[in-house]
Amino acid sequence: SFRTAAEPRRSSSSSRPPCARWVYLSVLMLHGQVGLSFYDSLDYTLHFMPDIADSSGLHLLERVVQEISPQVIVTSAKQERCMAHFLRGLGSNPDYKPEVVVYPNSDFGLEVAKQRLLSAHLPLLPASITENEKIPYLSSCIPFDSVLMVRLLVAILLSVIVMHSTLRTMGALLKCLDRRRVGVELEDSSVGVPIMHFRTYTLNDVVYVDRDTYSVLQIFKSELHPSVYKLQSGEKEGLSLYGSFYFCKRDWFLRPTRDLAVLMRRQEVVRFFTSPRNSDSFNTLKSCLRNIRSIPVQSTLILVVSFNHSFMQHTLISFCHRLYTVYNGVCIRDTVRSLPQSIQLFHEISEAFTEDLFYIASLISKVVDFESSLAENRFTIKPNVDPAVDEKKRKMMGLSDFLTDVARSELEQLDSRIPSCSVIYIPLIGFLLSIPRLPNMVEKEDMEIEGLDFMFLSEERLHYRSERTKELDDLLGDLHCVIRDMETAVMTQLQAVVLQRSSCLYKVLSLCAELDCLLALAQASQDYGYCSPTLTLHGPLSLIKARHPLLELCSPVFVPNPFTSSDQEGKVKVLTGPNSSGKSIYLKQVGLIVFMALIGSDVPAKEAQICLVDCIFTRMQSRESVSVGLSTFMIDLNQMTQALNQSTGNSLVLIDEFGKGTNTVDGLSLLAACLSHWLSNPATQCPHVLLATNFHSLLQLDLLPQSPLLSLLTLETAVDGEEMVFLYQLKEGICHSSYAANIARLAGLPATVVQRGVEVIRIRSAIFGSKHLIYENVVERFLSLDLDDPSLELQHYMEELLTFDAVK
Ligand SMILES: Nc1ncnc2c1ncn2[C@@H]1O[C@H](COP(=O)(O)OP(=O)(O)OP(=O)(O)O)[C@@H](O)[C@H]1O
């Protein structure tokens, strides 16, 4: 089913019914990283998925193919073997046979992608737009959330060759669309295939969380390891949500899910283990799981053929772990079988321990002598496994006494000046006579002894081969190597049996991994006092006494706060408060709690009801703008564009200080416009928005429309003389001052500087206050204008109204 690159133009258009929906998928796997993008001819949208950089890449690709059912799959001729295998597998399915189109690898280059994106037909843009002007537009459509996307613009702007799979797939996809003239078959050849939208694609039940959100919420945080020079990666996990969960499965953190069944399955196990009644089974399982390692079965194969010592030791240790794994697996099985089988995971684990596993366990333990294997740094087998090996080993054991006798008889025949001699065995060389060097033995000729062949001098001892040692070579041979070869043969046989029955091992390991993660979630829940949230697919988001899961670990006192957002009330919350009053923390704690619920964890709150949101968007701190090639304000706008364009009534949007990177009035107007956009939507389409701002005039000037969706919140503070007291308590209302001067004083700004700042503000507000009166006067007079009044002299009236004096 593979086509070649030299396909004819419009090759399949004849077989394609007009106006039918066609989906073209482009995929590439590069160094284990899967990138994909696809074009939907129904709405002319180009979708792209952030790079999948972990081992689940192909599994996810399989799900994408199931979800979008592409008719055409474009891929590269240079492909990793597993991807080629995957695509071939699709061709053999009788129910679904996509056409696989293979292009040369050069079509998947970044430069090609860059050129094709820039010259793509984007009907929404004015025809006169230049390539340079297209770049900011593309940057707002294609989020900078994946590593790939971060570099997209860098690649475009600087033409840096970077490896990013999804971007590469876009180039090939656009080529395919262009060749087939998708949707423009009847148009003039100068008309390109239209792209009306760019959209990030996520699998149906995967919640979209962009890279910035991961970073601002501190879900992962790598920092330099103190031993950075010694370690290869030089990095360790810092204070992060992932770290606080005892490094539970990274996959779960990377792909929070909306699949209620999956989350319920996790929740029931966590709930079971957080109950104090079950602490014994919790502790037993924890200690057994500590010894479970995931070891690829193939490693044993490499082990047998490997003669590289350091590698061999590593693999050997892995092999020992495998045995422990099996032993501990049995312990896990016994413990889990005693737990309620109504819990799905427990039932699956009980079932997964088949007879095969015991067979493997007992076979390995019968054959492998682990203690001596580790001591000798090679495989050794136990006695009674192979009688021939036992025989050789016996000989080997008695060898030293036998060689002492030989040495004694050899010494009797040597020159009387030689005080002593011994017989030694060197692998690959054989048996040798070893005598101490005498003072007169300086030149090589002095070392020659009649009847003996001189071999070498080492550490003041001379080594010779005698007739007797030659006899020993023939009689005993290279015993050491022979034993090793024989043991290797036994191991190969053992391995074949293990490999045959290893499928159950994978199943057990995968279930153990799941159990291990759930124990980690339960442990965190117990340690930090979390509650189990009630999850719903749609409905309100309601938290009582919610806390920030990371700040509460480092702060001696943490003030919990509630959060409620539903279609009925307060879906758009505007939070004002003095600087340092806890606004950002409140935003982040809501984001983190929702995220935690989406991985199946308990949450830091007294009670929680959480609807499974489809995306979490954040507009918080800006990334550094150098590597992205965009200004700070442009990055802020891109993040806001994402939230505005892609959020649904079931998304969570967290905005901290939008509009600050530009002129105050412009920033304020943009912010008001964005909020008004959401507030003017029906409640079911308005996302859960939580916005913190220091633009107090947003509310003071009444810039937002009246709506039941709008809720105004502030964080309580008290001023004691000149000192600020932060109470961190959430309440309804508006904050009228940022108390910036008080906070500046707290921060240690020189008193004179703060004083001067306060004076400037006072003078400015006095001027603004008097001007404000004049403006009010003008507006009042204008509103009282009666156009029907016959005595009105309009010209004169307007001149008077707009004279400089009146408004100055
Ligand atoms: N609920 C809370 N309980 C205890 N301490 C808190 C709480 N919320 C915030 N804090 C403390 O207040 C500090 C400042 O909080 P935060 O950064 O959220 O303030 P902010 O209002 O966003 O400030 P700014 O407007 O200057 O950005 C935090 O670092 C934390 O130490």
Give the CATH number for residue 700.
3.40.50.300
* Residue from 580, 691, 737, 743 whose mutation best tests the ligand 1 pocket (most atoms within 8 A of CB): 580
Give the count of beta carbons closer than 10 Å to the beta carbon of residue 596: 27
Could you say which of 706, 727, 746 is where a domain stops?
A: 746
Nearest CA to ligand 1 atom 24: 579
Same domain, 98 and 69: yes
Give the count of beta carbons closer than 10 Å to the beta carbon of residue 549: 25
Measured in angstroms, how far is the CA atom of residue 530 from the centroid of ligand 1? 21
* Cβ(580) – ligand 1 distance below 6 Å: yes
Q: What is the pLDDT of residue 450?
A: 81
Same domain, 397 and 464: yes
Same domain, 515 and 582: no
Q: Could you tell me if residue 62 is inside a domain?
A: yes
Q: CA 574 to CA 691: how far, in whole Å?
A: 5
Q: Which string of b and e fits 216-237 if b means at least 16 CB within 10 Å?
A: bbbbbbeeeeeeeeeeeeeeee
Measured in angstroms, how far is the CA atom of residue 242 from the centroid of ligand 1? 22
Q: CA 538 to CA 338: how far, in whole Å?
A: 37
Length, in residues, of the chain = 808
CA nearest to 808, candidates 780, 770, 782: 770
Q: Could you tell me if residue 212 is inside a domain?
A: no
- pTM for this predicted structure: 0.70
Could you say which of 724, 746, 768 is where a domain stops?
A: 746
Domain count, the chain: 4
CA nearest to 244, candidates 547, 656, 619, 613: 547
Backbone angles phi, psi at 205, to 5 degrees: -100, 5
* Cβ(583) – ligand 1 distance below 6 Å: yes
Same domain, 436 and 320: yes
Check: CB of residue 638 under 8 Å from CB of residue 150.
Answer: no
CA nearest to 319, candidates 292, 298, 291, 300: 300
Could you say which of 723, 746, 769 is where a domain stops?
A: 746
Q: What is the pLDDT of residue 12?
A: 40
Q: What is the pLDDT of residue 343?
A: 93
pLDDT tens by residue, 36-95: 889 998 888 998 887 665 556 677 788 888 888 898 999 988 888 888 888 888 777 777
pLDDT tens by residue, 723-745: 778 899 999 998 877 778 888 88
* Cβ(143) – ligand 1 distance below 6 Å: no
Q: Range of 760's domain?
A: 750-808
Q: What is the pLDDT of residue 761?
A: 79
Below-70 pLDDT ranges, the chain:
1-19, 51-57, 142-164, 222-237, 247-249, 291-329, 622-630, 722, 769-770, 803-808
Q: What is the pLDDT of residue 779?
A: 83
Query: Residue 403: what residue type?
Result: L
Q: What is the pLDDT of residue 270?
A: 95
Q: Could you tell me if residue 227 is inside a domain?
A: no
Q: Could you tell me if residue 224 is inside a domain?
A: no
Ligand 1 atom nearest to CA at 694? 25
ipTM of the predicted assembly exceeds 0.95: yes
Q: In this structure, what DSSP letter does residue 610 have?
A: E
719: β partners = 724
